[in-house]
Structure 1
Amino acid sequence: MPGPHPTDPIADAFESHRDRLRAVAHRVLGSQADAEDVVQEAWLRLSRQDTDTIHNLGGWLTTVVGRISLDALRSGRPRREVSLDDELTAFTVTLDDAPAPEELVLLGDSVGLALLTVLDSLRPDERLAFVLHDVFAVPFAEIGTILGKSADATKMLTSRARRKVQAAQLPECDGRRQREVVHAFLGAARDGRFEELLQVLHPEVKFTVHTPNGPFVTLGATEVATRAQVAGSAARGHAVTVNGHPGVVSWSEDGAPLSLLAFTVACGRITAITAVIDPAKLALMDLPTPV
């Protein structure tokens, strides 16, 4: 996908905001692919703008991304459903003991699939206001500029959206709990503790393994538990964050990547696992170096 030139100072400034912009669009639209499109459109608009008129680039870009995302929600056009498996080359993988971009912390520590389900029930303006204010701490006045409302009206809108979210009584699903679930799964897989595997797997869990011979999919907790050796063997790898999801990466002695695991955890149970053991696919991914 074309983008800003790396030696352009405006491009460098844009790149410093890219991760946050992608996180905003992703949380509003619920699709990583759509979020990338929104960020790219924001860059195109910036490239056509007289930057001397922009006094706060971060605020300007957040406003633009918010407006593009809101237009997408209001248009009612189907959002692209791109699964974790289909975004392998777009994975953002960071070591858990390395400084993580802000959006990875937010995506990892906020409620996940359950919250997205509730957000889908909100009106477009409610969804945008809630995400921008309660997740990204954007002031009401700035959100109001996007929505064409006063700061007070935006505050009331956000409060209404917050009440709807709270009324859903979402279970606790923070990043620490997600990692505890993944750690329990890896330990049980490594030691062959079948019953403990069943306790942390959702009954309809999907396990996709990308091999040199293509992807292989296993469905259901019992089937996944009996085929968890691939994940268990990677338990000695290094914990990472994969597009906001807990994961594990492992390397060979010469530093070549051996495997990458990414987990989707919904309120105490693993609902999806993606394992990449195909060297060709691993080579295309921007993975961290061995530690």
Structure 2
Amino acid sequence: MTQNTQGADGTEGGRGTQDAVRAADPDGARSTTVVVTGASGRTGSRVAAAAAAAGLTVRAACRAQGFDWHDGTTWAPVLRGADAAYLMYPSDIGAPDAAERVGSLAREAVALGVERLVLLSARGEEQALPAEEALRASGARWTVVRAAWFAQNLSEGPLLAELRESGELVFPAGDVREPFVDVRDIADVVVAALTSGDRWAGRIVEVSGPRLLTFGEAVAEVAAAAGRELVYRPVPARAYGEALAGFGVPAEEVEFLVGLFETLLDGRNAHLSDGVRQVLGREPRDFADFAREAAAAGVWKLP
């Protein structure tokens, strides 16, 4: 939930990608086929679009297409005949069942001849390490992309709803500084890893934005771009968990999230990573540019 916030349909977010999923070779020659899990979600939709723009054939893997991380019988139909796959585990890569699921799917992918796997992970999240290890142990040619907090978490999903409807973001991040990363940069890095041969195989790439912001500063930049009053109110992780429980979140999930927020938001991520520059040869997109673009699209207007 820190980054891979789940949508109502069990996917990573709420944006469709069917118009981005296309065969990219009009002459009939075989192009690389990449499976994109979470293809209707926050990162998956951008990965699908970036992969299609790069000339890859994109195969969407989401519940709308019959794929379910929790039903292994749905995996082979989408993996068979593919060359590569982007793996995004909902709702969080550090979830208790993530390592088992990621490892099982990765092994099946390898057995079916899928050559390259790129896993979305979370920078600084100790709970994500078992899933990363499961990927490495699968025998795949793998790349792990560890991402900072998504800028788009403030423009899509439950945090957006809270900001837009109440004008307030209540969240257990205190005054911790975070280098918010634009998910379009994540997508570009993923596609580069998939299309650069073995250059990024067997490597961990950490990506972040170009500067550090507290959540309060980020909300202030959003407010300035949106032209309306928006505020950030920090609360302790335990109090946030109690609020989640009040909204009907299961007790086991609440305990996981409280523990996650207490560790991940303790300041360990208050530094920049240069993965975007290393892989793409350019600087990452700035949070202010994200905020201006999203505001121009009317994202934070009152419903």
TM-score of the superposed pair, with normalisation by structure 1: 0.27
Rg comparison, structure with higher value: 1
Greater helix percent: which structure? Answer: 1
TM-score of the superposed pair, with normalisation by structure 2: 0.26
